[in-house]
A and B are shown apart, each in its own frame.
Chain A
Amino acid sequence: MLNIEELSRRFREELAAAQETEELEKVRIAYLGKKGSVTELLKGLKNLNGDEKREAGQRINTFKQEVQAFIQKRSAELEAARQEARLKNDPRYDISMPVDLGQGTLHPITLVQRELEEIFKSMGFTIEDYKEIVTEYECFEAVNIPKYHPARDMQDTYYLENGQVLKTHTSAAQNAILRKYGANTRAIFPGRCFRNEALDASHENTFFQMEGIMVGEDISISNLIYFMKTMLSEVFGKPITVRLRPGFFPFVEPGFELDIQCHVCGGTGCPTCKQSGWIELCPCGMIHPNVLEMAGIDSEKYSGFAFGLGLTRLAMMKYGIKDIRMLNSGSLKALEQFKVR
């Protein structure tokens, strides 16, 4: 049976020569096909007998397995080489190419407003947009600002020819909202406010505030401090230390100025807090009984607190906007930067 060794040698030569799948297939057929050399050898077994036949059968089968294994291996190699060649020819993409997001932006005021709205919604507050043009009654009398109060001076308030005013503060919505929701109210009302003043880097005649009220039975000063502390810690994303000082606003009694411990220096003093360690952030207070009564709420039974946040100021603080005039400029070079929500 010398011919198996001879056959094996020839097979290896032919296998090594096959560089394409088609050539490999020809080799496979030449050895394992119906008329292939191995098949022929197996056919030849019928001419042998006994031990001779068994011995030859084993040798041929071993050789057949060898051939099968080699062809399979070679086939895998050729397939891998083919894939590799294809991948090499595939186009390569330039990750450094610029792409156009086609993404619009929300105004920075909207972004800050949204953040606050989420916080307040999670605390069970409703959100109300209110009018920008209001009556003098809504803007002043209804929030306990009497006639001839300095806040009503022509130089601060935009009066309209029909006797209405552009709302000077979001408090102008208090009466309507208290009337709408009644004695158990949790509401915030962000809105645009107007003051008749000259424009410069830190003064705008058109700016945003956000006011909030919470009214119910037994709402106390202690609740107010707790609430402000909790709410502001959410806003700044870390525990905030607050302090209250007396502050006078006609629509609250007692009224407070709320300071937060400077979030930049932590209270040791820096340029942001003008070295004082504290930043005056928002006015707040217990809603004046007159304001509740004017909205038809029994001030003997119910009490509540109100607070105001300068949305424009918060947005400027948050994004480091130095010139307030940018906000109403409509400049897309400036506004397109606020992609992140």
Chain B
Amino acid sequence: MLLSMNWIQDFVDLSGLDLDQLIHKFTLGTAEVEEVYHIGADLKDVVVAQVIACEPHPNSNKLHLLQVDAGDGVYQVVCGAPNVSVGIKVPFVKEGGHAGGMDIGARPIAGVESHGMCCGEDEILVSDDHSGLMILPEDTPIGMDIKDLYEIEDTVFEVDNKSLTNRPDLWGHYGIAREFAALSGRELKPFETVSAEQFKDLPQVKVEIENKEHCLRYSCMAIENVTESVSPVNMRIRLYRCGMRAINLLADLTNYIMLELGQPMHAFDYKRVSEIEVGNMPEAFTFETLDGKERTIQPETLMIKSKGVPVAVAGIMGGYESEIVDDTNSFLLESANFDAVSVRKSSIAIGLRTDASMRYEKTLDPELTVPAIERYLYLLTQIDPGVKVISSLSEQYVKHYPEITITFDKPYVDRYTGIEISNERIEKTLKSLGFGLSREDDVFTVKVPSWRATKDISIKADIIEEITRIYGYDNFEVKTATSAIAPMQQDPRHELTTKLKDMLADHFGAHEVHTYIWNDAKRLKDIGLEAEGCLRLANSVSPDIELIRSQMVPTLLTVVDRNRTYGPRFNIFEMGSVVPRLKEDGLADEHKMLGVVFYGRKSEEMLLFFQAKVLLESIGQIIHNKSVAYQAVTKPLSWMHPYNSYQILRDGEPVGVMGVVHPKVMDKIDKKGAAVAIELDMGTLSQADIVLPTFKEPSRFPSISNDLSFIVPAETTYSTFNKMVDGLDLQDLEKVELVDIYQDPTWTDKKSVTLRFTFTSMERTLEAAEVAEAMDKLIEAGKAIGAEVKM
């Protein structure tokens, strides 16, 4: 929102103060100022001048040669404006002056010397009108500086609208002026109006509120005998500087008051609108708004109607049919208050956001409607003294906001602020902001002004903000908290996340990636997978990205696919959320998962598989000191190799899955590639107990190691040997290690597994015979599992 310091100073005397500094204070105390413009500061030597002669330019059809009387002399000027004629008075830049962004000097134009320039409105910053010269009133004194004639110079600043969302009172200059008064310690001037009371005996305009939920108040008044149609220049300048376009006097005044008070108004042609109903239409219909656009209006949208005919979209925009035109001489002035949510919804539904709807959305003070009409009358009668009010102030006041009174005490302020602000200062601040206030010692009772009471201020903490922002946060003495230090427990899942990320990056060379929480159906399709999940976004921009993922691996495989050109081998991981199912109450059963993909060449698939196992064992042993178990999956997931995939168990509890990625998926990514993926539930995993190592003193006696080779059927798993050894319960057997697995090229269905058995006693040096006896048992056990055993 653009704000004019000239306008603000109508309501508060800021003379002698540095305006730029005040605006900075406004940023720190009220709302963020994004930009400050010093308009007209560089305009120089522009005076009122009269055209006393006008002849065609000897070398041009479009240009004229003028003699211009600027008071201190007559100048020859070349002028290209189409509306030039003898006798008119115009703004004139003298030689050495500055206007329209140019330094003006004597220079030849089309071969004839020109000494100065006659100006249009845009050049002296009155408006953006560039169509011709600005023709000044006939009685304007020649030679007068244009800055003395009009409010050319101004400091205009722009406030970020978003920072005013919660302050309905700041959507007009008067409310802003109140802030400046409080920030500068100056007095806010009363708002000059004409009392509507004097017209109370005139006939009423019929106002009927059909929808009492969405219309809080509707006030109006009928006026006739309007003769002026153009707004005064200074008014036009202010409208222009604040980003509005001047249209005609009656419409301009509604905008002007909206910019002053924040209260939107509308003027209807009285010939068309002489009665008011506020309500909804039974069905959707087409309505032409005053911008000339046909719009479809839904029955939910609140309308202003006259004798059943819709004439305006309530709080948003008037209708084309009933708009004020230049020859309108009687009108009905509306000043109303509509429900904020309803206006916002309608505005979204129609796709039209206006200066009026923007303000209504902020929950305006319904007390403003009458002062706005009274201000309108005040300004209109000054400009057009012949106007005649033909109705009393007619209105329906449906909903009053309750009056809010808040009680608080000084110790509360002290505790909440942490600094000392005196009672007197609190009192002065709140009064300057319009609060009613009484105090008994340290206890304050404040009445919230109506313009702050619609939603903005309701509790003690709100009052603290008022006191402290005017006090200035820069003036705060800052102190550390005195509350007792107590240790905070840490979240085990978060701690595990940190450890695993480090482990993956440092020991497995894996890169952490981030992907989206939803499936990307297109990318999945590229690698032959379908989006899987049970929960959809209700308002996704595309059906391809609306299903929340139920697992991590498919998404990570799309990342592998997109990095194909990155290199022949790489590992990636992500900690992310998935929703595998809904809970009984219908809420998402969200799980935080670790997904990992090891990617490499087809020939390295086994290495990848065991690299994945190393990771799982690392988590088991390094993090929890407890090994994990594996169980072949019974229902392989879509991405899994059906025979090389396993469920991972911790203490019998499933914590995740690992598996070779299905070759049909790899064919899509890279026919020569292979991948092994892991998905672990961080929640379940972080609940696992951490087992501390129970220390065992190493034996002081020497160990004896012996190797045995077992020739077994090729499909025999390593776990067969574990079981075999466990079954013997050999005393002094310290460890069993895999030395080698050998498959002779001539063998088709068998392999040789060489194991090294190490024996150590805690008490003594073992005898060779004892070990030999144990070895014999192992050989026998080997035969029992169908192996041919060789020493």
Contacts and interface: CB of A to CB of B under 8 A. Distances in A.
Category for how many chain B residues contact A: 35 or more
Contacts of B548: 133, 160
Query: Lowest 10 CB-CB distances: which A-B pairs, in order?
Result: A220-B418, A222-B418, A254-B465, A216-B483, A104-B505, A126-B488, A330-B559, A244-B473, A226-B478, A248-B166
B400 interface: no
11 contacts: A104-B571, A148-B341, A192-B517, A206-B517, A216-B484, A220-B415, A245-B32, A247-B163, A254-B464, A331-B566, A332-B567
A78 B354 CA distance: 101
B27 interface: yes
Interface string A300-341: 000100000000000000000000000110111101100000
Given A103-B509, A104-B510, A133-B579, A221 B487 contact: no
Contacts of B482: 218
Given A124-B485, A227-B480, A107 B590 contact: no
A254 B418 CA distance: 14
Given A127-B491, A218-B483, A289-B459, A206 B516 contact: yes
A61 interface: no
Nearest to A328: B514
B28 interface: yes
Given A133-B535, A246-B469, A332-B566, 16 more contacts: A103-B506, A103-B509, A104-B512, A106-B502, A110-B501, A127-B491, A132-B590, A158-B540, A216-B481, A220-B418, A222-B479, A244-B28, A244-B473, A257-B163, A330-B515, A330-B572
A304 to B, nearest CB: 10
Nearest to A206: B516
A105 B559 contact: no
Contacts of B287: none
A103 B481 contact: no
Contact of B514 (A194, A303, A330): A330
Given A127-B491, A127-B494, A332-B570, A160 B535 contact: yes
Category for how many chain A residues contact B: 35 or more
A246 B537 contact: no
Interface string A239-253: 000011111100001
B480 A162 contact: no
A143 interface: no
B614 interface: no
B602 interface: no
Contacts of B165: 150, 248
Contacts of A196: 539, 541
A331 B567 CA distance: 12
Interface string B472-514: 0110111111111111111101100110011011101111111
Interface string A73-115: 0000000000000000000000000000111111101100010
Contact of A133 (B32, B487, B577): B577
A288 interface: yes
Interface string B310-353: 00000000000000000000000000000001001100100000
Contacts of B488: 124-126, 181, 185-187
Interface string B53-68: 0000000000000000
A303 B90 CA distance: 65
A129 B592 contact: yes
A166 B506 contact: no
B419 interface: yes
Contacts of A243: 28, 473-474
Contacts of B538: 159-161
Interface in B382-429: 415-419
A181 B737 CA distance: 49
Given A128-B491, A131-B590, A164-B588, A154 B512 contact: no
A256 B473 contact: yes
B513 to A, nearest CB: 4
Contacts of A330: 513-515, 558-559, 562-563, 572
A229 interface: yes
A265 interface: no
A135 interface: yes
B309 interface: no
B586 interface: yes
Contacts of A124: 485-488
A253 B467 CA distance: 12
Contacts of B223: none
A222 B537 contact: no
A214 interface: yes
Contact of B30 (A229, A230, A246, A327): A246
B381 to A, nearest CB: 39
A24 to B, nearest CB: 44
B512 A225 contact: no
